[in-house]
Amino acid sequence: MILKAENITFGYNNRNILNNISLSLPENKIIGLFGDSGCGKTTLCKIISGYISSYEGNVTIDDKTIEDKGVYPVQLIFQHPEKTMNPRWYMNDILKESWNPSKELKDNFGLKENWMRRWPNELSGGELQRFSIIRALNPKTKFIIADEISTMLDSVTQVQIWHYLIKECRKRRIGLLVVSHDIELLDCVCDDVLFFNDLNHK
């Protein structure tokens, strides 16, 4: 199974941000995407994961258009998790909106039981990010795009999170695109690294 973004072009105010970008993400592979802050990485992530629908080019899985029904097979984990969660829901409800993960998986990512009956504004950004990652690991997920997901985490938590996310993706043959401006992180966790400026044909 291969996720492809082909000839992606996108812009606004008569200025293109993305120009004829193409990349492929095979299942069970961890690919890094390196680029400076503000270069357009997040916009590309939103297009590939279905958040932006008006663009030039194609996004496919095994050369077939992705159907927007049920759980989207390409899950995007945002840098700022607080912006993706309903502030009026308990964390337990936010998690179960996607699926009901096992206790082992929740323990692996450091989710504490007393967090489940808290509101999003009662947890730190790093704590919320753990929920975002587990939500993205829905059983129907085939590909995950991780957009600067560990910038809010301390170094010890970063190691834990990346270890278990990679372990879970390997076990389930999920393709993982790791997007970051930290080249050392990408070199450490990825099978291969792509450079945004090389893909963006300005």
Closest CA to 173 of 27, 49, 63: 27
pLDDT at residue 99, rounded to an integer: 93
Listed by start position, the domains of the chain span 1-79+137-196
Burial (CB count <10 Å: 0-12, 13-18, 19+), residue 100: exposed
75 close to 141: Cβ distance less than 8 angstroms: yes
Side chain identity, residue 70: G
Which single residue is written with the structure tokens 């401006």? 181
What are 18-49's pLDDT values in tens digits? Answer: 999 999 999 999 999 999 887 889 999 999 99
Q: Quick check: 102 and 169 in contact, CB under 8 A? A: no
pLDDT digit string, tens, across residues 42-76? 999 999 999 998 999 999 999 999 887 767 899 99
pLDDT value for 71: 73
Rounded CA separation 52/16 (Å):
15
CA dist., res. 37 & res. 26, Å (int): 25
Question: Distance between CA 94 and CA 73 in Å, rounded?
Answer: 19
Contact 74, 49 (CB under 8 A): yes
φ, ψ (nearest 5 deg) of residue 51? -80, -25
Residue 167 and residue 109: Cα distance in Å, rounded? 12
> Residue ranges of the chain with pLDDT lower than 70?
70, 202
In CATH, what is the architecture of 1-79+137-196? 3-Layer(aba) Sandwich (3.40)
Res 138: pLDDT: 95
